[in-house]
Amino acid sequence: MNQRFNIKILFFTILFFSVNTFSQNINLERMDNEEIEKIIDSLYYSNPDEGIKIVKFYIKKSKKENSNESLYIAYRYASKFYPVPINFKYTDSALIASKRTENKTLITDAYLNKGVILMDESLYQKALDNILIANKYSLELNDNYIINKTTYFIAQNKIYLGLHEDANKELVNCYNYFKVNLNKKVLNEDYKTYYIFSLMSLIDSNTRIGKHQENISLLEEAYDFIYKNNFEHLKPYFISSEGTEAFYNANYNLAIKKLSEAIRLYNDQWPHLNDIFYIGLSNWKLGKRDVAVKYFEEIDKEYDKSKKLNPEFRPAYELLIKYNDSIGNRDKQLKYINTLMSLDKNYEKNYKYLFSKINKEYDTHKLINEKNKIESSLKNQRTIISSILLITILASLFYWNRYNSLQKKYKEKFEEIISQKNILEKIETLAEVESKQEDDLNPKTLNITDKIKITAPKNSSELEFYNKIPGLNPILVQNILQQLEKFEEELRFTDNQMSLRLLSEEFNTNIPYLSKIINVYKGKNFNYYINDLRIDYIIELLKNDATYLNYDIKNLASLAGFTNAVNFSDNFQRKFEIKPSYFIKMMKENIKTHS
């Protein structure tokens, strides 16, 4: 697409799609600034003369209110509505007003606005100066929206210079940014418009550098967006892109068909030289030189009127010179030679300035920024590595200290376990010790059931010992404790099916009574009681028979009456605060030391 008209249609799209209706019967005096701006937006394409009247009112209103911010916006509108060269005056006025606000965002936008207006009039040198200033401000603001807007217009300058590879990279970034933020709604930020124009320019750029395959999906994406977002006025531009794509794929008949269709569908006042140029080239490639020349002459007519021409269309003059030489028309041949020389002189002047400016103030600056980012990243990376190293050292010291503390603790626990009295030996109860101090040699026997004979307590001390649970007969308590003692001696706790219910049935009592007696006299609940017996049993086996030290944890668990190794290990560690595997290891080392 012709770059100049790309920018014109961009302006139109931004303004036209803000509001679509306008009523003549309006009272501007009663409207706030936002309402006035919406009215102005709606008039850009439908009624520009009326739009200028309202812009004048907005300028007057802003001055009266002494609002530099609204005055800047009003001047910016004037720069878009008024023709050349009046619009240049308003770009300067907008810039002055923005500086008075001391708002860097508005100042950045003012420079960008001026650059785009100048670029639209092919004043590329001054345009680039302002766009680069806007880009510099946007980087300072770290405003990604403005950064990508300025990048888009810098890419257009690179396209003008024929730097399609460089422009393509910039456009990919713009396209991706605006696409990601497509549904973002922020006042005065138009992501959709810049997305579709970045996409349009990216497709044209891909065509120039041979990325034809990528354009298939991008064109589908463009048409889908146009359909869903009411951007039908842009459809001819993408049909034009298809035509240019067909030309670069040497499908000249399809190129002519698509480009001609685009020309029929355009609904604006612009000449669309891009389509005319590539229709002419396609006919030339097909050998239809007489037809091709008619299209090239249309380009020359436009140049005669505007004295502006994109360097992309330079080959049209080369072919006009060649054609008129072949038919002997020296007058036209000389005319086109003079025009081409004038164009080349202008291109050379612009090229030298723009290329050096972009290279010096944008690309080099961009490289420096990238360099600084990399250096900063490396510095941060070194800081992170140093921090990680320090944390690792501190963590290592912590865990080493913790390991040593645990080793010391485990060793102490091991010594405690080793020094414990053999729990399998019968231990006299407190009641038995106290009973020896009495001389009562005639115990009294009571029959509670046919199965169990209960011996009554011998004296008051023994009675008091068995009377710790209110509501329970001390004789019953004594009997249960005696049965528990026998239960322990017979190692019946190693039965992995043993439960509180089964034991209460065997003792001919109920579950609550047995549970209370175990809690009070054993100092723990039934589960802890039976599991502790099992753990103590294994400890004695390991202490007294080295054979068991070679058993694995699973076998030891089964031997003790546990249903699995995990339950055994958990209970072992709960009771002794040491893992069974570590205890076994210490036992083996202890045997080696003393052997």
Looking at residue 432, its amino acid is E
CA–CA distance, 204 with 189 (Å, rounded to integer): 25
More confident residue, 399 or 168: 168
How confident is the model over 342-399, as pLDDT tens digits? 877 776 666 555 545 544 444 444 444 544 554 566 567 777 887 888 888 887 787 7
Structure tokens at 556: 């030891």
Instruction: Specify the pLDDT at position 4.
Output: 45
Which of these ranges, 37-51, 95-109, 293-307, 538-552, has the smallest mean pLDDT? 37-51
Q: Does residue 311 surpass a pLDDT of 80?
A: no
Q: In whole angstroms, what is the distance from residue 521 CA to residue 431 CA?
A: 12
User: What is the Cα–Cα distance from 452 to 505, expressed in whole angstroms?
Assistant: 13
Average pLDDT over residues 76-91: 87
CA pair distance 128, 138, nearest whole angstrom: 15
The DSSP output letter for 455 is E
Residues 6+ apart with CB under 8 A from 159: 3, 167, 201, 204, 205
Q: What is the pLDDT of residue 570?
A: 93
Selected residue with higher pLDDT from 303 and 298: 298
For residue 161, give both structure tokens.
Answer: 């210079």
- Average of per-residue pLDDT across 61-72: 88
Least confident of 108-122, 248-262, 370-384: 370-384
Q: What is the pLDDT of residues 395-451, one digit of tens each?
A: 778 778 777 777 777 777 777 777 776 554 443 333 343 444 444 434 433 333 334
- ∠ CA 501-504-509 to the nearest 5 degrees? 135
- How high is the pLDDT of residue 352? 56
Q: Which helix (H) or strand (E) holds 454?
A: strand 453-455
More confident residue, 407 or 550: 550
> The tokens of 84 are what?
């050349």
Residue 548: what residue type? Y
Q: How confident is the model at residue 356, as a pLDDT? A: 54
Better-scored residue on pLDDT, 552 or 303: 552
Over residues 200-252, the pLDDT tens digits come to 999 999 998 899 999 999 999 999 999 898 888 889 999 999 999 999 999 99
Please tell me the pTM assigned to this model. 0.54
Cis check for the bond before 83: say yes or no (omega within 30 of 0).
no
Considering only 219-233, 322-336, 361-375, 472-486, which range has the smallest mean pLDDT? 361-375
C-alpha distances out from residue 440 to 435, 436, 437, 459, Å: 9, 9, 9, 7
Mean pLDDT across the stretch 289-309? 87
Q: What pLDDT sits at residue 349?
A: 66
Half-sphere exposure at residue 30, Cβ-oriented, CA atoms within 13 angstroms: 3
Q: What is the largest CA-CA distance in the chain?
A: 154
pLDDT > 60? residue 292? yes
| Tokens matching residue 594 | 């003393």
Identify the structural domains of the chain with CATH numbers, from first to last.
430-594 (1.10.10.60)
In a 13 Å sphere around the CA of 573, the CA atoms on its Cβ side amount to 10
What integer is the mean pLDDT of 279-299? 93
Cα(3)–Cα(272) distance, rounded to whole angstroms? 10
Neighbours of 198 (CB within 10 A): 25
Report pLDDT for 14: 53
